[in-house]
A = this chain, B = another copy of it.
Amino acid sequence: MIKTNSEIRVRYAETDKMGIVHHSRYLEWFEVARTDLMREIGMPYAKCEELGISMPLLEAFCKFFKPSLYDEVLTIEARVEKMPRASIVLNYTIFRNGEKLTEGFTKHAFVNSELKPMRLPNFLKEKFVKYF
C-alpha cells in the first residue's frame, strides 16, 4: 500500500452560501493529495504528462460526514491499496484534528496524449510495484 498525507487550509472561495465548503471542492482536494502521492513515489504527475501519459477519471465518489469551514487546516490522506493494472484506484480520507470529515475514491484510466486508453506504462509500473 502507498499512503501519503497532504495538508490544506480551506479557502474562502471554497465555501458556499450554506457557510460550509462546497462539495465540488473535495474533488479538487483529492487531486491535490493525488499530486502529492505521485511526487512521493518518484513520478510527479506533471512529469507523467510530459512523458505522454494522463490519468483521466473513470469514477469519483465522496461521502460527507461533517462539513469543513473557512480557514480550517485539514489533512487529506491518500492511499493506493491495490497494484494498478488497466486502471488505478485511490482512496482518500479527510481529517480535521483527527476527526474524519469525508472519505471517497477516484478511479482513473491511463491514456496517451490523444486520450486513447492504454495499460499501465512501465515507467509507472516500476514506481508502484515496490509498494505491493
* Size class of the A contact interface (CB-based, 8 Å): 35 or more
A5 within 8 A of B: no
Closest to A34 in B: B12
> Does A13 contact B22, Cβ atoms closer than 8 Å?
yes
Q: Which of B11, B32, B60, B71 contacts A61 (CB 8 A)?
A: B60
Instruction: Note all chain B residues with C-beta closer than 8 A to A60.
Output: 23, 60-62, 64
Copies of the protein in its oligomer: 4
Task: State the majority secondary structure of interface residues on A.
Answer: mixed
A36 to nearest B CB, angstroms? 9
Closest to A111 in B: B18
Q: Which of B24, B44, B67 contacts A27 (CB 8 A)?
A: B24
